[in-house]
Amino acid sequence: MARTHAVEDYRNFGIMAHIDAGKTTTTERILFYTGRLHRMGETHEGAATMDFMAQEQERGITITSAATTCFWRGKRLNIIDTPGHVDFTIEVERSLRVLDGAVCVLDGNQGVEPQTETVWRQADKYDVPRIVFINKMDKIGADFYKSVASIIDRVAGKPVCLQLPIGAENNFKGVVDLIEMRALVWEKEEVGADYTVVEIPADLADKAAEYRTKLVEACVELDDEAMNNYLEGVEPSADALRLLVRKAVQERAFHPILCGTAFKNKGVQPLLDAVVDYLPSPVDRGAIKGIDFKTEEEVVRMPSDDEPFSMLAFKIMDDPFVGTITFCRVYSGKVESGTTVLNSTRDKRERVGRMLLMHANNREDIKEACAGDIVALASLKDTRTGDTLCDPNKAVILEKMEFPEPVIEIAIEPKSKADQEKLGLALAKLANEDPSFRVSTDQESGQTILKGMGELHLDIKVDILRRTYKVDANVGAPQVAYRERISKKVEVDYTHKKQSGGTGQFGRVKLIVEPNEPGAGYQFESQIVGGAVPKEYIPGVEKGLQSVLGAGILAGFPVVDLKVTLVDGAYHEVDSSALAFEIAARAALREALQKGASVLLEPIMKVEVVTPEDYTGSVIGDLNSRRGQIQGQDMRGNAVVVNAMVPLANMFGYVNTLRSMSQGRANFTMQFDHYDQVPSHVAAEVQAKLA
Ligand SMILES: Nc1nc2c(ncn2[C@@H]2O[C@H](COP(=O)(O)OP(=O)(O)OP(=O)(O)O)[C@@H](O)[C@H]2O)c(=O)[nH]1
């Protein structure tokens, strides 16, 4: 496929929101409006197009981030769907990494909600330009101005209204367009309904004038000439205003606010106009930084077809028609199907076979992808999420992604040999698709352990295993992923000696073992001088140490944040070997972990509960009984927000308790915050249970 749109005419954007704010509905409506105008006469039927997994539809949440291409006013829009549940923030980060801008959808009744806050901060981290769509203006209790205020209060954003709502709740009719100073009114509510342009209603004239002034003043701030003219009494034209808003979005000077109701089909076309007018193109976002594959020096790639080819894989998923597909964003250059490229992250060649462009309800085979494109590649061999694919002769590694450690695990036992085989294949696929999901084998029991970011995260994986891969298996209760760490510095001196008959074994190591800074991980250093432990045996020592790290002495959990220094040792001309040193190091470290007063660490979750005031007392009482530490409480609208740090071990099934405690009215979100020492009486229980 030759280039059909200049890179300047691309908008790669995501839609981010709290659960239930209306992201899926908004996306669907966008696809409808763009599709209808692109291919007249096509109707859209059936379930949500973006949520193509049955699991998602049943749970009513969007988990995967798929990409869809559509067109509006001569621009090419690539929508990257971002999930809203906190267990899947990794997916949000992954998609934020490859998009150039975002539409943040708020529920007009709720304003900024906990998960909006999380994704907003992530968007800040990745410097993603944003516009805000205040949705559900038709809903009872919808409050535009309060929602706008919540952007200031809760995420310290800088909202500037481009529209004001006309009417509210059942009477929501349309919007005042503050740029053109006119009103857009939707007479009908069915999908595809169009608006008519009318005068601003008289009762809104003053308010419109007030907000227009705020808009103009925020805009002229960004441009000296416009400011001078304004001071002289000349306002910028509508076109000039749009350019200034565009500049504001790019520079994150402020966040433009639009509103509507996706469900009732009001406000979607102006939202699409805003995507085109204000969100940046790949060119506006500029060069992407990377590291030269050979020299390891920093290099950049411009968003142009003339640059060396580079792209980033950001999502792997199973497609019901094509099989495994890898979503990639092309940053520079071009790639044709049939060519061989380099996966520079893994130093492996990949053949680019079938390439697809995903539309709302069809897949288009393409032969060539160019800078700015988001494409799906079928059947890549070794590429995982976060990998770079590039021109082998001008190889580059684009920034890598970081993935948090999983905090929760479950054991899974296939029921038959056939299930065992299916499970193996399925798990390899799932782990490939989702780097925050890990699979390991328990060294002692031989059980397969699944690790993830939260109860729901693992729930969904098990569901996929059962339904998609038809694996029949017993699944254990979710377990906390504990860690072990020593609490004081110790010195151990250990000699491994077996010298009776035949070839003997001899190795002596003297280690200093000390706790590392939290999060600093494991470090090994050899300070051997003069060959007390010959060089060729040091790898043996390291191997011995490593073998202990996987399973600590308290309850077999991984040992973290440890520094080991090999300070001295001894060897025997004949009897020493790498194996002898491995055994010595292993025994020495186990002794050190004993002497160093190892403690059990547990993941502590940051929990936010939003509850009607009546239940505040019970919510706090209950959190306290879960060893929670209340950090504070605030009012949000007429609800109380309780913040607490609670051990994950005590959060299992919390959703049900909270529901019954509040008659279903309170809700909560949580995410991993840090690891902390388990109180000794609880540690004893954990050890006893595992013994
Ligand atoms: N009244 C009203 N309801 C809406 C509107 N938009 C969406 N909804 C409803 O709100 C609920 C959630 O909408 P979704 O579009 O699934 O929300 P979402 O943000 O995609 O949710 P997740 O996929 O769970 O993150 C559904 O019942 C929608 O019908 C709206 O504009 N007005």
Q: Between these two residues, 34 and 105, which has the higher pLDDT value?
A: 105
| 17 assigned ligand-binding residue | yes
**Cα distances (Å, whole numbers) of residue 344 to 64, 99, 101, 298:** 26, 21, 27, 15
Region 484-493: mean pLDDT is: 95
Q: At residue 143, does pLDDT exceed 80?
A: yes
Residue 559 tokens, joined? 């040992």
| Lowest mean pLDDT, pick from 54-68, 400-414, 423-437, 662-676 | 54-68
Region 638-666: mean pLDDT is: 86
How far is the centre of ligand 1, averaged over its atoms, from the C-alpha of 19 (Å)? 8
Amino acid 662: pLDDT? 85
Long-range contacts of 359-363 (CB under 8 A, 24+ apart): 359/35, 359/68, 359/69, 359/70, 360/31, 360/32, 360/35, 360/44, 360/49, 360/68, 360/70, 361/44, 361/49, 363/319, 363/321, 363/322
How far is the centre of ligand 1, averaged over its atoms, from the C-alpha of 1 (Å)? 36
Residue 535 tokens, joined? 């060089």
3-state secondary structure string across 528-559:
CCCCCCCHHHHHHHHHHHHHHHCCCCCCCCCE
Amino acid 45: pLDDT? 39
Mean pLDDT over all residues of the chain? 87
Helix (H, G, I), strand (E, B) or coil at 303: coil
3-state secondary structure string across 395-463:
CEEECCCCCCCCCEEEEEEECCHHHHHHHHHHHHHHHHHCCCCEEEECCCCCCEEEEECCHHHHHHHHH
How far is the centre of ligand 1, averaged over its atoms, from the C-alpha of 22 (Å)? 3
Contacts of residue 618, Cβ cutoff 8 Å, sequence gap at least 6: 661, 662
Instruction: List, in sequence order, every residue forming a beta bridge with 438; answer none if it has no partner.
Output: 451
Q: What are phi and psi of 381, to 5 degrees?
A: -90, -55
How far is the centre of ligand 1, averaged over its atoms, from the C-alpha of 25 (Å)? 6
Residue 401 tokens, joined? 């992604």
User: Which phi-psi region, left, alpha or beta, contains residue 251 (left: φ > 0; alpha: ψ -120 to 50)?
Assistant: alpha
Region 531-540: mean pLDDT is: 92
How far is the centre of ligand 1, averaged over its atoms, from the C-alpha of 142 (Å)? 14
Atom number in ligand 1 closest to CA 19: 25
Amino acid 50: pLDDT? 45
Q: Highest-confidence range of 91-95, 235-239, 603-607, 609-613, by mean pLDDT?
A: 235-239
| 19 assigned ligand-binding residue | yes
d(CA 460, CA 467): 10
How far is the centre of ligand 1, averaged over its atoms, from the C-alpha of 174 (Å)? 19
Contact 216, 162 (CB under 8 A): no
Comparing CA positions, the residue from 16, 64, 84 lying closest to residue 669 is 84
- β-bridge pairing 67-72 and 75-81: antiparallel
Region 368-390: mean pLDDT is: 91
Rounded-to-10 torsion of CA 315, 318, 324, 326: -20
Residue 442 tokens, joined? 């328990």
Count CB atoms within 10 A of the CB of residue 679: 13
Contact 352, 321 (CB under 8 A): no
Residue 315 tokens, joined? 């999502």
| 429 assigned ligand-binding residue | no
Q: Which of 19, 24, 669 has the most ligand 1 atoms within 8 A of CB, as the residue to mutate?
A: 24
pLDDT band at 7 (very low <50, low <70, confident <90, very high): very high
Q: At residue 260, does pLDDT exceed 50?
A: yes
Amino acid 402: pLDDT? 62
**What is the pTM for the complete model shown?**
0.71
| Lowest mean pLDDT, pick from 122-126, 390-394, 464-468 | 122-126
Comparing CA positions, the residue from 339, 343, 333, 344 lying closest to residue 354 is 339
Comparing CA positions, the residue from 159, 168, 146 lying closest to residue 637 is 146
Q: Highest-confidence range of 75-84, 233-242, 469-478, 681-690, by mean pLDDT?
A: 233-242
Region 211-236: mean pLDDT is: 96
In the chain, the amino acid numbered 189 is E
Atom number in ligand 1 closest to CA 261: 31
Contact 180, 274 (CB under 8 A): no
| 572 assigned ligand-binding residue | no
| Lowest mean pLDDT, pick from 176-185, 193-202, 455-464 | 455-464
3-state secondary structure string across 643-690:
EEEEEHHHCCCHHHHHHHHCCCCCEEEEEEEEEEECCHHHHHHHHHHH
How far is the centre of ligand 1, averaged over its atoms, from the C-alpha of 23 (Å)? 6
Amino acid 684: pLDDT? 87
Q: Between these two residues, 87 and 565, which has the higher pLDDT value?
A: 565
Helix (H, G, I), strand (E, B) or coil at 48: coil
pLDDT band at 637 (very low <50, low <70, confident <90, very high): low
Contacts of residue 85, Cβ cutoff 8 Å, sequence gap at least 6: 19, 61, 63, 115, 456
Contacts of residue 589, Cβ cutoff 8 Å, sequence gap at least 6: 492, 511, 513, 544, 545, 548, 564
- β-bridge pairing 174-177 and 182-186: antiparallel
| 282 assigned ligand-binding residue | no
Comparing CA positions, the residue from 379, 465, 476 lying closest to residue 422 is 465
| 333 assigned ligand-binding residue | no
Q: At residue 320, does pLDDT exceed 80?
A: no
Protein residue with least CA distance to atom 2, ligand 1: 136
| 81 assigned ligand-binding residue | yes
pLDDT band at 404 (very low <50, low <70, confident <90, very high): low
Atom number in ligand 1 closest to CA 62: 23
pLDDT band at 347 (very low <50, low <70, confident <90, very high): very high
For 549-588, what is each residue's pLDDT tens digit? Answer: 988 898 888 898 999 999 999 999 888 999 999 999 999 9
Signed CA dihedral, 37, 42, 45, 47: sign only: negative
Rounded-to-10 torsion of CA 623, 628, 632, 634: -30
Count CB atoms within 10 A of the CB of residue 364: 11
Comparing CA positions, the residue from 3, 68, 86, 82 lying closest to residue 30 is 68
Atom number in ligand 1 closest to CA 105: 19
Protein residue with least CA distance to atom 13, ligand 1: 22
Q: Which of 26, 87, 171, 263 has the most ligand 1 atoms within 8 A of CB, as the residue to mutate?
A: 263
d(CA 144, CA 117): 18
Amino acid 61: pLDDT? 35
Instruction: List, in sequence order, every residue forming a beta bridge with 70; answer none if it has no partner.
Output: 77
**Structure ipTM:** 0.96
How many degrees, rounded to 5, is the angle at CA 355 between CA 349 and CA 356? 150
Q: At residue 111, does pLDDT exceed 60?
A: yes
Region 141-155: mean pLDDT is: 92
Contact 97, 314 (CB under 8 A): yes
Region 308-328: mean pLDDT is: 86
pLDDT band at 361 (very low <50, low <70, confident <90, very high): low
Protein residue with least CA distance to atom 25, ligand 1: 19
| 138 assigned ligand-binding residue | yes
Alpha helix positions (H), 109-204: 114-125, 144-155
Region 514-537: mean pLDDT is: 89
pLDDT band at 244 (very low <50, low <70, confident <90, very high): very high
Region 607-615: mean pLDDT is: 87
How far is the centre of ligand 1, averaged over its atoms, from the C-alpha of 325 (Å)? 28
* Residues framing ligand 1 (Cβ under 6 A): 17, 19-25, 60-62, 84, 135-136, 138-139, 261-263
Count CB atoms within 10 A of the CB of residue 292: 14
Count CB atoms within 10 A of the CB of residue 105: 26
Q: What is the DSSP letter of 127?
A: T
Contact 320, 346 (CB under 8 A): no
Region 169-189: mean pLDDT is: 95
In the chain, the amino acid numbered 312 is L
Contact 569, 517 (CB under 8 A): no
3-state secondary structure string across 355-378:
EEEECCCCEEEECEEECCCEEEEE
| Lowest mean pLDDT, pick from 22-36, 231-245, 623-637 | 22-36
| Lowest mean pLDDT, pick from 38-42, 226-230, 443-447, 450-454 | 38-42
Amino acid 264: pLDDT? 94
Region 655-667: mean pLDDT is: 83
